[in-house]
Structure formats: structure tokens, C-alpha cells
Amino acid sequence: MKGLRFVPAFALLWVSATAATAQRTLIGSASAVERLIRDEMATLNGVVGFTTPVFFSDVEPTSAVPDTGIVINRVQIESIRRTAGVRQFREFLRLLLAHEVAHHVQFRAYSAAIRRLPEEERRVYEAQADILAGKHFTEMLPPTSNVNVSEAIDDALQVAFDLGTTEYSLGTHPTHESRLVATRFGMSAGMMTNLARTMDPRAPGSVALIALKIDTRPGESTLLWSFRQAKRITSYRNQAAVNLVLTGKQEEWNWNGNPPIVRFSLTYENVGMRPLLVDVMVESAAVPRNAPDSTMGWMLWSAHHESFRIEPGATRTISGVLEWYGDNEYMPLLDYPPSRTAVASVEFADEQFAGDPRHAPVALMPAAPTIVETLQFRAALQRLIVHTANRTLAAVRSGPGRRIVSDVTKYPSSIRLPGARDITLRFSANKGAGVSATFLTSRSRTAAEAAFSRLISHTAQALSEWESERRDRSDSGELYRSVRYRRDGMQAVVRVVLLEVDGEYYVDLDVEEASGQT
């Protein structure tokens, strides 16, 4: 596959009704390749809910054309089938077709006018198509078949890397690596879907771990998640990003821990005249010792994600703790802006993305967000309970603390609880340690009560395998449920509280050490 190049689809959307288009042939079943494409398209059409015609051409490059369908260059495909190093040809076709179908979903969701957006924004949609194609590719890999899954994934990643072009990304963000990262993010999302379908008791933990790595958020559709990641992967938007400057960094590596960790603190300054919106990933990667610059061999071991607004002249410090991995073949690397391989988007807060898809009605190849969200919540809450019961919450502190009163200090938590707007760790010499998470702040009592009920249900479902003792209380301003949970010799108290303060309603979840009465 080395040296193979495709012209990106968005560079081909201006095809007119010329002699070239007249040479298109609607795909049939005359050849083995045509039959493979027909079968794969039948599956894709069923997933997205509409039919996309596919044509062969000996003249036009492979592309997605609005109001027409998908054009497959016959010469190109046959050449790949005969001579390229693709060992799983059907899976290669699946990835290619899924990418082009993703463009048609974009045309329907955002309108075909996106092809007339500025070049930098078109790159975002190209990366989004790579993400969605990678997701579909992985979801369609059968658990048991004649397909060598490892070979199929390796081929797909190599294809993704080789198909990069100079039009795809900014010169400061390597083309091939961007495409590779986009496909890997999509494959990871597809793996979450596959794991959620299994009955393996280890699946919830694996799903939660992947979700933390690729930064899925509760309530975020596949389309919105992939769009946000595409902006980060393509380093959107360069004009804004040049105003974000790294002014200080600290890395403290623990080499003997189990697992080993790295503590980091990164300070950025907005040196421009306009406020910025930043969405950044700090990546702990395991990279090959013999080729550390080759991202094809990188493994994403753990990641810290943070989104924030930064005013002109202001600074922002990102800090956290990440696990790392290294052995005789791999060494650890902490990757963050302004590294050329960093994953981050920087936008002007006072400027809207021209192709903003937040109200798009269509979602391509959706995962099961309810299942995934529940698994993430379960894994995170159980980790917090275990740390609380074992009095090891200090190990998951993230960043500087804040003294509330003489006896209480609060810290950010490195464990994110899906759905929580804010989560802090409390440490008191007299009362021990605990967790406080705020899920809703509202002036509507009705909204608060609904959120209170959902959080109780969500918590009970997440801890259904634990023994429990419950106590409820309610008065004019407060609803309160306290449950003592026990498992494997550990116990902790989980409280869900609806509290009214000066007309404002708060829905919180607290985890505390279990002592005395609930």
C-alpha cells in the first residue's frame, strides 16, 4: 500500500455533466469486485436508512457526488486488488465505501453546500468521514469468521495512512497522521459498540476505558462526537490556534509505580485580542523505541481531555495524572500542543463555525448511547466507591487543591463521572474523604425532580450487583436518598440529594466512607 494515493472526495465535488460522467456505468454483478461492492452497499444502505447508487468509471476518480451517488474508479480498484498489499480486500472496500457513504450522510444532514465552505472547514468534514468509516468498519467485523481481524485492521490503518493528501490537513499537522488518527478514533468507537453487545463481565470496564480515551460525552450523538473529534484531529482553526501559547510545563514521571504514572501541568496563554475556545487531548502514548516518530506504531495508553474558554491575556493551566507504558520495544511519550501530532482544536469564541452541524437531524451508524453511557457511569462510580471505601481517594486527585475551611480541602478528580457538571474530592481530618458531584443546577423544581429521579435510577442500575440498605427523606426544600453499599468487604454510602437554596435547585451525588448509621 505504500505510495498509493487517492484524490480526496471533497476535491472532486465539482464534477459536471461532461464526457467523463457519460462514461459511468451503474454497478451490477458481472465481476467479483462488483458483487462485493453490491453486498457491502446493501449493508451500508440498511444502516443509514437510504440508498446510494454506485457507478463504475474508468475516467473519474473515486468520489462522492451530491445528487448522483458514489463513483468508483474501476482501474484504481482493480489495480489495488491485483498488486497492492491489501490482504483483506473486502474489508478494504468496506472502509472505502463507508467513507463515501459518510459524505452522503453529511450532504443530507448539513446539505451539499458544505462543499463550498472554506478549505479548512472542508478538511473537518473529510476527517469526520474517516472517523465514521472506521466506526462502521469495526462494527461490521464479525466475532467469528474467516476474516483475519488483525490483518483487516492493519490493512485499514495502512490504507488510512497512505490515502493522505496535501489537501487534507494544514502543513503543520501531518496529512497522513491526521487520517490515521481519525480512522483509529472511529475504530475505537466501533469497538465500544461491539463490546456493549457482548455478555462478557469485563466488557463494561473496557468500554469505560475506551470512552475515556476517545472522549465520548453523555448525550452526544455519533454525528456530533465525530464532528468535534474531527476538528481536534485537523487542528481546526489555525488562525485562532496561533494565539494559544504554551508558557510553562512540568512533567513528573513515576518509574516504579503499579501502574506507573506521569503527573503533568501545562500552562497556556491567550496572546491574541479575542477569546478562544479550546478542546484539547493530553495523550500518554507508548511509541516504538526504534521508530518513535512513526505514528503507525503508536498506542494510545491513556488520555486527559479538557475543554475551556480563555480570555485575551489570560492563562489556563491543565493538570492531571495519566498512566503510561514502556518495555523493551516501547517507550512512553506525553503528547500535547504545540506538538505537531497533538490533538486539539482552537476556535474564536465570538465566531461560529460556518458549517456548524449541531442541529443536524441525521446520525450516521449510531452506537447505543444509553448502553455506553450506563457502562461509563457504572465503571466510574464503582472506581470512586472502591477508592472511598479503601481510603485511597488521594490517588485520584488531579491538580491543585483548595482549602474551604480549616478542616476541609477540595481537589479536582481525575475520574470523570459521566453526566456530572462538576466533581470534587473532599478531604477532612475529622470526617474522612469523600466525593461530591453536581449533576444539575436549575430554577425549575420540575426539572430538578426529574433529574433527581433519573440519577437515582442510574445509580441503582450501576450498582445493582452490590448489597444495599436505603433511607429516604423529604421536606419542602430537599429530597434525599442515602444508600449504604457493600461488596467484597468494602462499604460506602452513596447519597443523591435535591437541595433548594435561594430559589436555585441542585441535584448532587455524594460518596462517603461508611461509618455509623446511613
* pLDDT at res. 328: 95
Decide: 213 and 162 in contact? Cβ < 8 Å: no
Grid coordinates representing 5?
494515493
Q: Does 500 or 270 have the greater pLDDT score?
A: 270
3 state DSSP class of 51: coil
Q: Given this model, what pLDDT does residue 156 score?
A: 64
State the span(s) of the chain assigned CATH 2.60.40: 238-348
pLDDT of residue 161 exceeding 70, the answer is no
- For residue 364, the model assigns a pLDDT of 38
For residue 490, pLDDT beyond 50? yes
- Which has the closest alpha carbon to 239: 118, 154, 328, 321? 118
pLDDT at res. 347: 93
Q: For residues 363 and 223, is the Cβ–Cβ distance under 8 A?
A: yes
Structure confidence by residue, pLDDT tens digits, 288-316: 999 988 888 899 999 999 999 999 999 99
Q: Is the pLDDT of residue 282 over 70?
A: yes
For residue 221, pLDDT beyond 60:
yes
Per-residue pLDDT reduced to its tens digit, 376-396: 788 888 889 989 988 999 888
pLDDT score of 16: 33
Q: Please give the pLDDT value at position 11.
A: 28
What is the end-to-end Cα distance of the chain in Å, rounded?
63
Distance from CA of residue 223 to its chain's centroid? 11
- What b-and-e string marks burial along 218-229, b requiring 16 or more CB atoms within 10 Å of the CB? beebbbbbbbbb
Location of C-alpha cell 446510494:
52
Look at residue 151 in the predicted model and tell me its pLDDT.
Answer: 65
Query: What confidence score (pLDDT) does residue 21 get?
Result: 53
Please report the pLDDT score of residue 166 as a whole number. 34
> What DSSP assignment string belongs to 229-284?
HHHHHTT--HHHHTTEEEEEEEEEE-SSSSS-EEEEEEEEEE-SSS-EEEEEEEEE
pLDDT at 354: 52
Q: Answer whether residue 268 shows pLDDT above 80.
A: yes
Ranking 59-68, 127-136, 307-316 by mean pLDDT, the lowest is 59-68
Q: What are residue 436's DSSP bridge partners?
A: 424, 510
Strand ordering across the sheet containing 402-405: 402-405, 408-412, 422-428, 432-442, 504-513, 490-501, 478-487, 467-474
Mean pLDDT for the stretch of residues 319-331? 94
Q: Which of 253-262, 437-446, 447-456 has the highest mean pLDDT?
A: 253-262
Residue type, 201: P
CATH class of 238-348: mainly beta
Averaged pLDDT of the chain? 80
**pLDDT grade for 480, boundaries at 50, 70 and 90:** confident
- How far is 186 from 225, CA to CA, in rounded Å? 10
Residue recorded with cell 458481472: 30
Q: Give the pLDDT confidence score for residue 162 in this predicted structure.
A: 59
Residue 510: helix, strand or coil by DSSP? strand
Q: Across residues 259-267, what is the average pLDDT?
A: 94
The arithmetic mean of pLDDT across residues 134-153, rounded, is 70
**How far is the C-alpha of 131 from the C-alpha of 120, rounded, in Å?**
17
The residue ranking higher by pLDDT, 480 or 21, is: 480
Report which DSSP code applies to 212: H
165-188: pLDDT as tens digits: 433 333 323 367 788 899 899 999
Angle at 284 between CA 278 and CA 288, to 5 degrees: 130
- Structural contact between residues 148 and 88, judged by C-beta atoms closer than 8 angstroms: yes
Average pLDDT of the segment spanning 311-339? 94
- Reported as a pLDDT band with limits 50, 70 and 90, residue 369 is very low
pLDDT at 19 over 80: no
Say what the pLDDT of residue 450 is. 77
Q: Give residue 297's identity as a one-letter amino acid code.
A: G
| 195: three-class secondary structure by DSSP | helix
- Dist. CA 511–CA 509, nearest whole Å: 7
Rounded to 5°, angle at Cα 278 from 275 and 284: 155
| Beta-carbon-side half-sphere exposure of residue 270 (alpha carbons within 13 Å) | 22
pLDDT of amino acid 371: 45
pLDDT at residue 5 greater than cutoff 70:
no
pLDDT of residue 475: 62
Residue 14: the pLDDT is 28
Instruction: Name the pTM for this structure.
Output: 0.65
Of residues 307 and 15, more confidently modeled: 307
